[in-house]
Amino acid sequence: MTSFIHDGLPIAFQDEGPRDGDPVLLIHGFASNRRINWVETGWTKTLDAAGYRVIALDNRGHGDSEKLYDPKAYTPALMAADAVALLDHLKIPKAHIMGYSMGGRIAAFLARDHGERVATLTLGGIGMALIEGSGDWKPVADALLTDEPDTITDPTGLEFRTFADRTGADRKALAACIASNRVLLSAEDMAQIDRPTLVAVGTKDTIAGSPKELAALMPKAVAFDIERRSHLIATGDKTFKARLLAFLEEYPL
């Protein structure tokens, strides 16, 4: 693990694979980190073996990066700026950008606001929820903050609390993140993103929303169903990996 400073914050990252390979920047989901989202699921190994330079960061508030407790510090635009700053730090002018769940939201903001840095865009675990939202997440924040986890009744809140406890995450930082990160994009925003885009969502995912409807709003997007996978299980699916590799081969830098 190494880190760099952006916006006064230490941001942890890893940079692996051949230096002459096309760079792929990986942005993990809420309550996760680069190791859980990308290393343990086999993504870094898969991309490295295919000849790509694999870069993954810990988002602010997550993993080994700086923990912040002000919700205003976690907007998707700010977190996208961290990712762009990492590309600057590594002197990479353009990369394939891939995000999962919250990381997909951050990646979409990155593509909208910094399109010149994006070779291709992959949105995993997020579809029309980017535009329509995905319900009330206050119970998740409440579940993260409670000192009595046995009292949690909200199933999504319990799932994320269990996950945060298992990974040793800073629950207070996560609660601040969930309070402000879920900024929505508009259909017009998505139409502005003209990079080749892959939208991949599990067919049993109840959080992400429709990948096909989102892809239809974008000029160069295709949708992919990750069959029989729920939101958390779809992350490392082998068919998802195969589809992503084929997608990247279509659009080399």
pLDDT-derived band at 135, boundaries 50, 70, 90: confident
In a domain, 145, yes or no: no
Q: Which domain holds residue 95?
A: 2-131+184-250
In a domain, 246, yes or no: yes
| Number of folded domains that form the chain | 1
- The predicted model scores a pTM of 0.97
In a domain, 53, yes or no: yes
**Tens digit of each residue's pLDDT (9 = 90 or more) over 155-202:** 989 999 999 999 999 999 999 999 889 899 999 999 999 999 999 999
In a domain, 86, yes or no: yes
In a domain, 169, yes or no: no
**Tens digit of each residue's pLDDT (9 = 90 or more) over 202-219:** 999 999 999 999 999 999
| Location of structure tokens 């206050």 | 138
SS (HEC) of 143-204 = HHHCCCHHHCCCHHHHHHHHHHHHHCCCHHHHHHHHHHCCCCCCHHHHHHCCCCEEEEEECC
- Cα–Cα nearest to 31, from 239, 252, 235, 250: 235
State the amino acid at position 86 in one-letter form. Answer: L
In a domain, 140, yes or no: no
In a domain, 63, yes or no: yes
In a domain, 78, yes or no: yes
Q: Does residue 1 register a pLDDT over 80?
A: no
Domain holding 57: CATH number? 3.40.50.1820
| 120-150 exposure pattern, b = at least 16 Cβ within 10 A, e = fewer | bbbbbbbbbbbbeebeebebbbebbeeeeee
Residues 6+ away with beta carbon under 8 Å from 101: 29, 30, 124, 125, 126, 207, 208, 231
